[in-house]
Structure 1
Amino acid sequence: MRPSHPPMGWNSWDCFGTTVTEHELLANAEVMAARLLPSGWNTIVCDIQWYEPAAKAGGYNDNADLHLDSYGRPLPVPQRFPSATTINGTPTGFTHIAHSIHAKGLAFGVHLMRGIPRQAVTNNLPIAHSSHYAGDVADTTSTCPWNTDNYGVNPEHPGAQDWYDALIDQLASWGIDFLKIDDMLAPYHASEIELVHRAIARAEHRHNRTITLSLSPGTRVSLTRRDHLAAHATMWRISDDLWDRWEDITAQIDRLALWAPHQTPGAWADADMLPLGRIGVRAERGQPRNSALTITEQRTLMSAWTLAQSPLMMGGDLATSSDVTFELLTNSAVLEHYRQGIAAHCILAEGKTRVWLTPAHAPTRHVAVMNLDDTARTHIIDLDDIAAPHTTSATDVWTGRHYAVTTDTATHPYRHIAVTVPAHGVAHLALTSSH
């Protein structure tokens, strides 16, 4: 059975880049369990290069010497993940960390690059449970433009499925619940997506667990791919990496407007991580900082992501983020709508104004007026225009402000609600109806 609403969790990328440690993963899990789990946040994801001994902030090492097992599969670097040991010749990998996170009522995920490590290909390592070798299945012409860890695989070679089966089976044996695979969508690698999908299904059956699949990055991914993505993944990115810049947020709001009508349970377009709280600690971009977005802009972001039913993956370090950030992440009115799994649609995009509306069958209807301009604007919400004629009042989910329905026969001779929206802000209203 597919989940009714998108995944909600934390990802290490925005704050720790390629260098996150076991201590930092578990510290964020501790805070999530204590402060966010009651609101539905339940997944901890270790992002890229947990297998790179010399990983650094601010970029990647070309042709890095990766920590692999004898079959070419990545292993956590013991210097950063000391619980990743070997018992009777078998690497324990993330087993201890996964167990610790599961004990808190949370799920655990990791990041992988598409394909097979170049190092395994150079050494022509055998593929576990297969008669094939890494050199047999690699496509050395299929490379990632921004990371040199892996080659793609030749999907026509029978050993390619063996590779993904062995790779994902090992992750499942460690207790992995969530898998983010990068370099899948730009360009679009349909055949490798299908190989991964089959490997996950086999691992789920063998280990009696469910694994969520996330694909990225979403550079220029179009709606023509939607059905294929929905059939093979749980979530997929719709842009490059998003950071704490207002121009990133406005562009993403319009991308979400395109994808929101196509969100369905278990298959969600992903607007990327939330660059909120304490980010950039050892990240790919920028210095250690609190999010450069203002609280007004952060509310607009949260309204857009939740109304459009984007997955919510917190990017800031939970252990050092402020109470203001947690207030954003635990707003009960916002999350109550989100957990209903009903996407709003953008019904008006005019100039710098965007108006979002939940459908009539939503238990509580929401309308949000987003002002992308640099100055405050007043907007009139015509209740007949949004098919909400029985609305008696409205409450802003962020400020708690109560709005009455009015009729001004001189200027607006119809039932309406007038909202003044600050620059870069949102008036996100929950409507109260007499019916």
Structure 2
Amino acid sequence: MGWNSWDCFGTTVTEAEVLANARFLAAHMAHVGWDTVVVDIQWYEPTARAGGYNDGAPVLIDDDGVQRPAPGRFPSAQDRLGLAPLAAQVHALGLRFGIHLMRGIPRRTVEADLPVRGTPYRTGEIADRTSTCSWNSDNYGLDLEHPGARAWLDTQVDRVVGWGVDLLKVDDMLAPYHADAVEALAGAVARAADRHGRDVVLSLSPGTDLSLARLGHLRRHATMWRVSDDLWDRWEDVEAQLGRLARWAPHQRPGAWADADMLPLGRIGLRAERGGPRDSRLTVDERRTLLSLWCLARSPLFMGGDLPSTDPATIADLVHPGLIDVLHHSTGGAELVREGDLVVWGAEGTGPCAGTRWAGVFSTADAPVQVRVPAAAAGLAPLAPGGAALLDVVDVWTGAGVPVDPAGAVTGGEAVLTLDVPAHGVRLLRLDPPRPPGGAPA
């Protein structure tokens, strides 16, 4: 859980903007687990601009060919300190610090033909010039059959982890799937983390058309991995994640998380890749659909909007205790029903929420609908045997009780929920352990 600079600042985020968001996160969101601040792509590009990438960008590199921060945007990085001073300021707030890298080696490093530290090789001989990214021209791939390539990768990863990096997001890894690069990177991260005594989260992107056939490999080599291309503030982007997460959610487990991408919520597009400055175009109901789905599927949550200028209602949803319970204290999140515009998810409680069950009743329809859903089909326990207990269902977002029609439950029928669901909306329901009539929970 944390904040990422991409949706609001694109390639151009500054140190001051990172710290403003870090301070907001620490003051208003860390108490429910929002604890990581990530500087996304091209922190090393002094001519970065909104709306895309510069071909042949003058990427800044150090004497080893490792990227170094653009000093005009990161003034504390003077004197070859890298991002260590910024990381220290983020850590002083009680937060974790992350950065973005691209797969491979900067083209400028290859062209400079620098010595590879600790080897007889030079950077001009360790690149795979045929392996390039289709949407960013900063790097070549590494020729990982060459021992100098792995040595240079170790130098790069050790350098940035030594700055105090707790999360490393590496792009152009999964589409197409570069298994050799994933393995080499994971090894370099493990060695650097051990040398510096740090726990480092490895996040891989993007996940366009990522297949479940890669699950075992991903679990062995990464902490989290994207399952889609970039997600923006469009309903069609959110709706598409219903199907993707239905495939991936049953396989979630600690230390190995399928990631549905950052949250394009609040104030976004200030200097982003797509669109101009705006409040997220998702409606309130679409926003709550997104958040409910991500939490039921236990996706990582990274806020993409500029926190200090985001509206209070969005911030309130991000820290809603009932929602956070689903993320932190549920298991088994899965799609249970898909019929036309109706999609139903369920999950079970763990830890302090043991015995609790959640259901997400989603509608992809363009207008409000009323649906009748059997409680059992929604994963909510029916009346206890003999009808001795009551279904006590609450709407997580509003806190209001939800009427349940128990007709026929005692004689073998089904208790039924009748729900009004907004357009593109959700009713996120919570059922706590049954209680006897008029009594405390059983």
TM-score (norm: length of structure 1): 0.95
Where do residues 321-332 of structure 1 align in structure 2 (5 Å cutoff)? 321-332=310-321
2:431 equivalent in structure 1: 431
Identity, in percent, stands at: 52
2:173 equivalent in structure 1: 184
1:240 aligns with 2:229: yes
**Alignment RMSD, CA only?**
1.5
Q: SS of the residue aligned with 1:384?
A: coil
1:394 equivalent in structure 2: 393
Q: Which amino acid aligns with 1:253?
A: L
1:171 equivalent in structure 2: 160
1:266 equivalent in structure 2: 255
Cα shift at 1:394? 0.7
Cα shift at 1:337? 2.0
Q: Any idea what the Cα deviations from partners look like across 1:316-335, whole Å, max 9, x if unmatched?
A: 00111011111111010110
Q: SS of the residue aligned with 1:287?
A: coil
- Measured in 1, the distance between the counterparts of 2:260 and 2:221 equals 18
- Measured in 1, the distance between the counterparts of 2:43 and 2:381 equals 51
Cα shift at 1:125? 1.3
Q: Any idea what the Cα deviations from partners look like across 1:161-185, whole Å, max 9, x if unmatched?
A: 1121100100111101100000000
Where do residues 1-400 of structure 1 align in structure 2 (5 Å cutoff)? 8-86=1-79, 91-340=80-329, 342-359=331-348, 363=354, 364-385=356-377, 386=379, 388-389=381-382, 390=384, 392-400=391-399
Q: Is the 8 A contact 1:13 1:283 kept in 2?
A: yes
TM-score (norm: length of structure 2): 0.93
Q: Is the 8 A contact 1:393 1:431 kept in 2?
A: yes
1:4 equivalent in structure 2: none
Q: SS of the residue aligned with 1:319?
A: helix
Greater mean alpha carbon deviation, residues 14-23 or residues 391-400: 391-400
- Measured in 1, the distance between the counterparts of 2:376 and 2:48 equals 57
Q: Is the 8 A contact 1:345 1:357 kept in 2?
A: yes
Cα shift at 1:297? 0.5
Q: Is the 8 A contact 1:129 1:166 kept in 2?
A: no
- Measured in 2, the distance between the counterparts of 1:284 and 1:342 equals 35
Cα shift at 1:387? 5.9
- Measured in 2, the distance between the counterparts of 1:341 and 1:206 equals 35
Q: Any idea what the Cα deviations from partners look like across 1:16-43, whole Å, max 9, x if unmatched?
A: 0000000000000000000000010000
Q: SS of the residue aligned with 1:74?
A: coil
Q: SS of the residue aligned with 1:34?
A: helix
Greater mean alpha carbon deviation, residues 361-370 or residues 395-404: 361-370
Cα shift at 1:160? 1.9
Q: SS of the residue aligned with 2:307?
A: coil
Q: SS of the residue aligned with 2:77?
A: coil
Q: SS of the residue aligned with 2:391?
A: strand
Q: Which amino acid aligns with 2:430?
A: A
Q: Any idea what the Cα deviations from partners look like across 1:297-326, whole Å, max 9, x if unmatched?
A: 100000000000100000000111011111
In structure 1, the gaps of 5 or more residues are 1-7
Q: Which amino acid aligns with 2:65?
A: G
Q: SS of the residue aligned with 1:80?
A: coil
- Measured in 2, the distance between the counterparts of 1:309 and 1:177 equals 21
* Aligned residue pairs, count: 423
Greater mean alpha carbon deviation, residues 150-159 or residues 281-290: 150-159
4+ long deviations beyond 6 Å? none
- Measured in 1, the distance between the counterparts of 2:124 and 2:4 equals 33
Cα shift at 1:126? 1.7
- Measured in 2, the distance between the counterparts of 1:202 and 1:127 equals 18
Q: Is the 8 A contact 1:378 1:420 kept in 2?
A: yes
Q: Is the 8 A contact 1:309 1:343 kept in 2?
A: no
Q: Any idea what the Cα deviations from partners look like across 1:220-252, whole Å, max 9, x if unmatched?
A: 111001110111001101111000000110001
- Measured in 2, the distance between the counterparts of 1:188 and 1:409 equals 53
Q: Is the 8 A contact 1:139 1:154 kept in 2?
A: yes
Q: SS of the residue aligned with 2:157?
A: helix
- Measured in 2, the distance between the counterparts of 1:167 and 1:23 equals 25
Q: Any idea what the Cα deviations from partners look like across 1:385-409, whole Å, max 9, x if unmatched?
A: 4361246211111111211322346
Q: Is the 8 A contact 1:378 1:418 kept in 2?
A: yes
In structure 2, the gaps of 5 or more residues are 385-389, 435-441
- Measured in 2, the distance between the counterparts of 1:192 and 1:249 equals 30
Cα shift at 1:129? 3.0
Cα shift at 1:132? 2.0
Greater mean alpha carbon deviation, residues 187-196 or residues 385-394: 385-394
1:5 equivalent in structure 2: none
Cα shift at 1:378? 2.0
Q: Which amino acid aligns with 1:205?
A: D
